[in-house]
Amino acid sequence: MSLINETHDPALRSWVASANQPGHDFPIQNLPFASVRRRGTGEPFRGGVAIGDAIVDLAALHRAHPFDGLAAEALAAGAEPQLNALMGLGPAHWSALRLALSHALREGSALRAVVEPCLMPQAEAEYGLPARIGDYTDFYTSIHHATNIGRLFRPDNPLLPNYTWVPIGYHGRSSSIGVSPQAFRRPRGQIKAPDTAAPVLAPSRRLDIELELGVFVGPGNALGEPIPVAEAEAHVFGIVLLNDWSARDIQAWEYQPLGPFLAKNFATTISPWVVTLEALAPFRVPFERPADHPPPLPYLDHPRLREQGAVDIQLEIAWQTMRMAEQGLPPHPVAQTNYRYAYWTLGQMVAHHTVNGCNLQPGDLLGTGTLSGPQPEQAAAFIELTQGGKQPLTLPSGEARTFLEDGDTVVLRGWCEASGAVRIGFGECRGTVLPARSGDQDQ
């Protein structure tokens, strides 16, 4: 697990003035990575690092050769169009580059004259996927979400007996993962109403969101070689926000016996900025579970995991209808939760994913699953917030919503705050629902 070091010092300030603004997502203590280029130019994508309202163009900085050793090797990898090569180098390289960038961006740095010409405004940037995502696995790590959803479908048996023993997951579709801001068409699939004898092919009428985090894998493992839980976080590069859009009416008909399929694979949106595990070190908290639950099996347990295996990340869902946008009303917060409520940690996800010998690769993405908290207002999906669509939410425009309508936009945000540390953020994960294809109708 990453340790607190000089890059986390709350007294650090940057010569990039916007990075010193209180409450900014991207102070010098953060330094997240993305794949960027100037909007509308057709330039190649390359790695970038956020600092305040600006981005350090890693390709431009690499051409200046400001670093040596591991930091120079990591900078060369980060200058590529996507971050797979950097992700594959491992913690020593990541930490060396982060430290070198921190030194270069601090007030009084002798490298300011080298770095400043390599900055581009975030307002002028567009983003690509941070990595070529070879495989995507979505887990189910919130016991509160699992219980809430189970109660809707199985009132007498909401939590299946394997949940407290095994990190549940399924393999998703990497090709339909997009980067924020993403707009996608309403999906269609087979839908069967309870009072009909046969299903129809139709656009989803119960389109939902799931607030998750996405975990980018760093160095992989050889086929047949499990990753021990004590070493799991050395195989994690960083974290993004993730919205697992879900068509609940399609899901209800198709999910038994093999689980999610077309209800999930039409769109998944991630935020562009990958916050490294090292940046999150000041916000680690103990991993806890109810005392009357079985302890994890030995391959999922370790003293360091119990001491600081969880991460205190505050998370928010905001909803904006088309009418709200026309009236100049911003996205309205409808729920807040926290990653510390997860029943399974990111290290346990990695260890379990590989215990059978499955080989992970740099740039693979692991979703945490919907991160609902213990209170009703901490539900991280609309199917939970509205009690299966029975209790609509009222938005500032006066509109009522249970599930998403065409033109609706959902914005996910995340940030970390702790005593003795500078607040850092994840930016935003924004997605908008477009109408189904013209001509789509019940068939």
What is the Cα gyration radius of the chain? 22
What 3-state class would DSSP assign to 60?
A: helix
Q: Point out the catalytic residue in the list 62, 145, 352, 353.
A: 145
Residue type, 168: I
What 3-state class would DSSP assign to 215?
A: strand
Taking every pair of C-alpha atoms in the chain, what is the biggest distance, in angstroms?
Answer: 74
> Which of 95, 71, 106 lies closest to 279 in space, CA to CA?
95
H helical segments located in 162-310: 248-254, 303-308
Annotated active-site residue 145? The verdict is yes
What 3-state class would DSSP assign to 235?
A: helix
Q: Cβ distance 101 to 61 under 8 Å? A: no
For every residue of 124-175, DSSP letters joined together read: GEEEE-SS----EEEE---HHHHHHHHHHH-TT--S-TTTTTS--EEE--GG
Which element (helix H / strand E) includes 269?
A: strand 268-270
Chain position carrying tokens 């594959």: 88
What 3-state class would DSSP assign to 176?
A: helix
Chain position carrying tokens 């425009």: 397
Crossing angle between the packed helical segments 69-78 and 91-105, to the nearest 10 degrees: 90
What 3-state class would DSSP assign to 409?
A: strand
Q: Catalytic residues, which ones?
A: 145
